[in-house]
Amino acid sequence: MIDPSVIRPEIALDDFLPIFLSSALAMLFGGFYVGIYTAVKVKMLKSWAMPIAYLFWFLTAYSLYIMGSLMHVGEFTAKALIVSMIGYLLLPHAVYHMQHQVHEENEH
Amino acid sequence: MASNTLNESKQLATWYFTFAFILFGAQLLFGLVAATQFVMPGFLFEILDFSVARTLHINALVVWMVFAMFGSVYWLLPDETGINTIGIKMGKLLYWIFVAAIAVVVLVYIFVQVGPADETTIWFIMEGREYIEAPRWADFGIVVVALGFVANLFLTGMKGKQTGIVTVLMADMIAFAGLYLAGMFFTDNISIDQYWWWWVIHLWVEATWEVFVGAIAAYGLITMIGAHRKVVEMWLWIEVAMLFGSGILGMGHHYFWIGTPEYWWEIGALFSALEPIPLVAMFVHVLYDWGKTQGAEEEAGNSASVINNKPAFTWFVLNAFGNFLGAGIWGFFHTLPQVNLYTHGTQFTSAHGHLAFFGAYATILIGMMYIAVQGKNNIKVLKNTKSSIWAVSMIAGGVMGMTVALTIAGYVQVLVSRAQMGATWAGYFDGQAGMWFAQGMDWRLVMGLVTFLGFLLLAKDLLTTGKNPVHER
């Protein structure tokens, strides 16, 4: 018989698989978002693919929301995840802008 | 530039790569022994116990990567600075000291194995800390070698052309060498001891090593596809800022359960959530430069590939993807404290370790070996061969297979050992008694064998490249 005090009830048994899947999907969708965004910008993909990139960002944010909810993250961690997602949305734009400027300066 | 001295630096690099490759093979062999012991616990019992095989497996991993990193720097230094590597004779002497020290340490691990658990053990047999178990006499030897290496790099970097890549490497390597000192002393309090030990392990792999990878990727992209230096170096600075910005305090995720104050939960959670971002940036960096460079060539009417070293480029692309997958996805699985409470110390950690070390470091260092083989044999365009394709497929497939097998085993442990049985003594054993865990270990061994066969093909390809007529000269 296991002492009930050593069992940690914070996460339900059935929630572990969705947590691992949603955390993996958050990263995977995030990779697609930045990858497609960059591919469109460097003309490896047509511009119609750009909305798909943003759709992947939305899926990233949603996966992270699912993960955080199932984990019952605290207020601070929830805020950290929201800030991360906003940063993740803006980051490719900022990085691409800088890269493009450098590229233009050297090409023209 | 005096070509004979230039050759000396590159020659020294090939020595480093050669010994690194031998240790890579040793790492895989001892990993196979340890994996077999999970399946057949009596295998080599009291001859080469699991604890010894594991020590050899993970220390060979760290040391072969350090050797290959030193080799990479000695290889690129003349190209980047435009001058001879200063103090190359000292570099060669230190190489032999390093090789001799590692050989003695390995022989002691194999034949002496354990000591009386007093000061003589720490000084002459092993220090007992994972990944950096080298006895203290070897620690001092490593520090001397590392300082000599840093001196070579700084003297050359300060006198020659200071490119962004060299500047980053200079800053990075001094941190890399300096951080090793944090793992050289003991304290009686295990929490304090572990606190400093992580300064070596975490700040090496998730800060200085990752920055090193960024610098090497930048050099590789310039060398292999002719990417524009200013663009590549701009990326590098962004990556350095993001890697150090998130990686240094990301160390908090190692401080969750070792007796450090609870504020590390918040710090660890925040910065761990940010840690995958530079890995995505590094992935996109390769895509961006490849797309831009190939696109510019095609606009100029040249449809030929811009890649002059296909196997190396394959490994570099694998690095960008593997870093994101192994360090990013498999790290993010269990980086937040809420879930790490359950995954900590299970095979999840092992799954992450296997894919992250392979994806983030082994891939790019093998890519550098191909660049060295190309340069050493004056090959203009190094093409893929059947061996190179089979090697990369089997090694990557094998490591991925091991990772999936370990993840399944870890998942069982999370559910049984932790969630259902509350990290109890009985839970520890029950978690490992189930069918899924046992089959996970079986498949890990099978995939380990696949990886080792891939390694043999890689060795064949690297050794026969010089005589293979398929490459353009």
Going from the first residue of chain A to its last (108 residues), give the mean pLDDT of each consecutive group of 10, the final group possibly shorter: 61 90 91 89 89 96 93 86 88 82 70
Provide the pLDDT for residue B4: 41
Q: What's the gap in Å between the CA of B269 and the closest CA on chain A?
A: 6
- Establish whether this prediction's ipTM goes over 0.85: no
User: pLDDT tens for residues B368-410?
Assistant: 999 999 999 999 999 999 999 999 999 999 999 999 999 999 9
Provide the pLDDT for residue A52: 96
Q: Which residues of B touch A107 (CB under 8 A)?
A: 228
Q: Which domain holds residue A79?
A: 17-107
Contact assignment for B230 to A3 by CB distance below 8 Å: no
Q: Is residue A3 in some structural domain? A: no
Q: Which helix (H) or strand (E) holds B103?
A: helix B88-111
Contact assignment for B420 to A7 by CB distance below 8 Å: yes
Q: What is the mean pLDDT of chain B?
A: 91
Q: Which residues of B touch A18 (CB under 8 A)?
A: none
Q: Is residue A82 in some structural domain? A: yes
What's CA B378's distance to the chain center, in Å? 28
Provide the pLDDT for residue B448: 98
Q: Which burial class, exposed, middle or buried, applies to A48 when counting CB atoms under 10 A from its CB (0-12, 13-18, 19+)?
A: exposed
A34 touches chain B (CB under 8 A): yes
Share of chain A above pLDDT 70, in %: 89
Kindly report the pTM of this predicted structure: 0.93
CB atoms within 10 A of CB B2: 10
Contact assignment for A99 to B338 by CB distance below 8 Å: no
The mean-pLDDT minimum among B154-158, B164-168, B225-229, B306-310 falls in B225-229
A24 touches chain B (CB under 8 A): yes
Contact assignment for B287 to A39 by CB distance below 8 Å: yes
Q: Is residue A47 in some structural domain? A: yes
Average pLDDT over residues B346-364: 95
A1 touches chain B (CB under 8 A): no
User: pLDDT tens for residues B165-194?
Assistant: 999 999 999 999 999 999 888 888 999 999
What's CA B246's distance to the chain center, in Å? 19
B161 pLDDT band (50/70/90 cuts)? very high
CB B308 within 8 A of CB B297: no
List residues in chain B touching A: CB distance below 8 A.
Answer: 228, 230-231, 234-235, 238, 266, 269-270, 273-274, 276-277, 280-281, 283-284, 287-288, 291-292, 295, 324, 328-329, 332-333, 336-339, 341-342, 411, 414-415, 418-424, 426-427
Which is higher by pLDDT, B233 or B446? B446
Share of chain B above pLDDT 70, in %: 99
Cβ neighbors of B429 (< 8 A, separation 6 or more) are none
Q: Is residue A31 in some structural domain? A: yes
Count of domains forming chain A: 1
CA-to-CA distance for B222 and B218, rounded, in angstroms? 6
Q: Is residue A97 in some structural domain? A: yes
Q: Is residue A10 in some structural domain? A: no
Pick from A23, A72, A73: CB nearest B333: A23
Residue B383 per-residue DSSP state:
P
In the predicted structure, residue B98 carries a pLDDT above the cut 80: yes
User: pLDDT tens for residues B307-330?
Assistant: 999 999 999 999 988 988 898 889
